[in-house]
């Protein structure tokens, strides 16, 4: 185990995210898991580097004509 120093205001905010029976470690673990899932969702839903399906189909037809 270790101790992490937090400003009192941040500790109060962290407490506000807790559910009944959770300790600070539980709250932080849950928040980190939520953040990981959100990061993955943002990555999967990002349109960066994507092309419309129609463009991809046209390109595929050019490369591999029937």
Which pLDDT tens digit goes with each residue over 9-38? 999 999 999 999 999 999 999 999 999 999
Region label for 61, one of left (φ > 0), alpha (ψ between -120 and 50) or beta (otherwise): alpha
Which pLDDT does position 45 carry in this prediction?
86
Given a cut of 90, whether residue 65 has pLDDT beyond it is no
- pLDDT at residue 4, as a whole number: 93
Query: pLDDT value at position 34?
Result: 96
Burial class of 27 by CB neighbour count within 10 A (0 to 12, 13 to 18, 19+): middle
Q: Please give the pLDDT value at position 48.
A: 82
pLDDT of residue 50: 85
Calculate ∠ Cα 48-49-53, nearest 5°: 105
């Amino acid at each position: 185990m270790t101790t992490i120093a937090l400003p009192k205001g941040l500790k109060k905010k962290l407490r506000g995210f807790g559910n009944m029976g959770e300790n600070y470690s539980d709250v932080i673990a849950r928040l980190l898991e939520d953040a990981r899932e959100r990061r993955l969702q943002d990555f999967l839903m990002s349109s960066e580097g994507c092309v419309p399906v129609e463009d991809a189909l046209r390109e595929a037809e050019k490369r591999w004509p029937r």
